[in-house]
Chains A and B, each alone.
Chain A
Amino acid sequence: MRHYRAVAAWQSWAVLNRHMTVYLRNWHTAALPPIFEPVILLLVFGVGLGSNIPAFDWQSQNVSYLAYLAPGILAYTVFMTAFFQALFAAYIRMHYQKTWDGQLTTQVRLEHVVWGEALWSATLGLAYAIIVMFVLVGFSIAGWLDFHWSGVIVMLPLLFLAGVAFAALGLLFTAIVPTIDHMNIPFYLVIMPLGFASSTYFPLESDALLAQAWLVINPLHHLAEGIRLLLLSGIWSFHLLAALMLFGLMILILLPVDLRLLRRRVLGER
């Protein structure tokens, strides 16, 4: 229980505050990826490639590929941003910059460092998602998209929770990869396939049992489909509830495991 209580401790938020301060100092360069990446992806795939793809049936609706892709990019952004921060950026702070070691000589303990990293990753994931939403609003104003925006504010806490869950997954690899070069293994064998095989860029429809099972347990699939239904139809679907539960489960299971593994790695404790 102590592991979970640390999320509310001031030390965890002090760690988050440190990361945010560093990030905001470079806001002019840091803001480029979340703005330009979705714009480029939407233009290249949604508008460019989408113009060659006829509208198709999805959940009893006829949708253009651009309309299908846009909510997927939103979900993918939260996933990739939070995961990337918790994997590469956290590893650099832990191993190369010794930021964690410095923090651990204060009233901050390892559980606070880990929660601070997870909260920061989720904050950045949410911030990037909000920027993507503004881009999508721009596309809507341009007449390329027709979305229901009414439920978006309520969706924000879920996106934050998704960020914490994906950060917990990222921290798992941070705890176990021997060197930074080894991060290619989880990234290309687990994360990239997961990111694409989750109804983000294309509909994943198959009657195969394995594919069905994969979709049931895949939180990113539920998040992408839930957001899509909400934006395209204004429907609060079971996907959002499933995503909420799966993210909660991920956090409950992964954070204590992360802490245990990082305690071994950082402190040398068994």
Chain B
Amino acid sequence: MLQHAKQGSGHWHTGSEITNRIQLLIYYVTIDLMNRKGASITSPLLDARGLVKSFASRRVVDGVDLQCRSGEILGMLGANGAGKTTTLRMCYGFLQPEAGEIHIDGIDRVSDPDRANRLIGVCTQDDTFDTDFTVRDNLLRFAHYFRPRPTDMENRVGQLLTRFDLARYADAKPDTLSGGYRRRLMIARALVHQPKVLFLDEPTTGLDPQARMSVWELVDGLRQEGLAIVLTTHYMDEAERLSDNLMVLKDGQVVSGGAPRTVLGDLVGEHVIVLDANIPQAGAVQQWLREEGIGEPTRILNTWQIALDGPGLAHFSAVFGELRFEVRPPNLDDLFLQLSDKDS
């Protein structure tokens, strides 16, 4: 009986093991499939490594790496001349890198520029639409510059006109549109051939706040549809709100990259102290900053903005407890000012 039980038990265990093994197999197959699917989703649509570019013997971009995945917005930040636009121009093929590799959805853009360019959409800083054509014809005409040629263009253009709220201006010349609608047309035109990667070079520069926000909404919608979007901007709130990842350039090199909060922590610090710059103890504060190796504070009008980490803030409070100051979290404006200050 016992033996039978053991046998039975043994048999039952064997059956369980088989069941377990089948379950395990199903589990591993599922995981493998998920991984494969995940790999195709998460592998970068834009993958650039070691980009180098010089103009007149000055190295403008010096070993920049960047990746952007489907459904992701990569924000490129930096002061004027940091190398943002040059990096972007190399990625979309306007300029040829001296060194480095760029792959668009796995296609090498140097050896196969035609296929790579078929997969990208570009919205340049300046308006470059064709002023000889109407808004609708600009979209239709643009399709002529792609092979395989985009199909069902009448429908596609109709959808874009509606989505970008351009339908009422369809028969107008682009140079009669307001700044916001010109930008919409530029972005719509970049999407005519249904690219996978979209480059937006300062897409809201010069727009009023309402027009900027409507462009943000459109860009956010494109992200949700799975486009990989690379964005350069001078507007810190724009970079902060839109970007999943940030890349900060300085003198042609990446000085920080990652999620916006991480970048801020890396480059600015955890806290920013806002202090009246005209207080009698100003000299003492400057002396303390120098001794701590923090350097000169950023000055905005009559205030000093001092970025500090946690222990630094505690130390400052201990030393200058009698002063009145405000503590706030850092934002990208601080980062930008800090980069600019170090340049000057």
Contact = CB atoms under 8 A, between A and B. Distances in A.
A103 B146 CA distance: 10
B89 to A, nearest CB: 8
A105 B92 contact: yes
28 contacts: A10-B147, A14-B145, A17-B144, A22-B133, A97-B131, A97-B132, A98-B126, A98-B128, A99-B128, A99-B132, A101-B124, A101-B126, A101-B128, A103-B145, A105-B94, A105-B124, A105-B128, A105-B190, A107-B114, A107-B146, A108-B145, A109-B113, A267-B94, A268-B55, A268-B95, A269-B96, A270-B55, A270-B56
Interface string B53-93: 00110000000000000000000000000000000000011
Interface in B102-146: 113-114, 117-118, 122, 124, 126-133, 141-142, 144-146
Contacts of A267: 94-95
Interface in A78-125: 97-99, 101-109
A11 interface: yes
A107 B124 contact: no
Contacts of B114: 107
A270 B96 CA distance: 11
A18 interface: yes
A22 B173 CA distance: 14
A90 B124 CA distance: 21
- B contact patch SS: loop
Contacts of A104: 94
Which of A21, A97, A105, A108 has its CB near the most chain B CB atoms (within 10 A)? Answer: A105
A75 B80 CA distance: 52
B145 A107 contact: yes
B195 to A, nearest CB: 10
Nearest to B123: A105
A121 B144 CA distance: 20
Contacts of A105: 92, 94, 122, 124, 128, 190
B127 A107 contact: no
A96 to B, nearest CB: 9
Give the top 10 A-B pairs by smallest Cβ distance, nearest first: A106-B145, A102-B128, A105-B122, A101-B128, A98-B128, A107-B117, A22-B132, A14-B144, A108-B145, A107-B114
A86 to B, nearest CB: 18
Given A107-B114, A108-B145, 15 more contacts: A14-B144, A14-B145, A18-B141, A21-B141, A22-B132, A22-B133, A97-B130, A98-B127, A99-B131, A105-B92, A105-B190, A106-B145, A106-B146, A107-B146, A268-B95
Contacts of B94: 104-105, 267
A267 B126 CA distance: 14
B159 to A, nearest CB: 20
Contacts of A101: 124, 126, 128
Contacts of A268: 55, 95
A62 B127 CA distance: 60
B128 A11 contact: no
Contacts of B93: 109
Nearest to B96: A269
With most chain A CB atoms within 10 A of its CB, the pick from B55, B122, B132 is: B132
Contacts of A14: 144-145
Contacts of B126: 98, 101
Nearest to B199: A105
A106 B94 CA distance: 10
Nearest to A101: B128
A101 B126 CA distance: 9
Contacts of A107: 113-114, 117-118, 145-147
Contacts of B133: 22
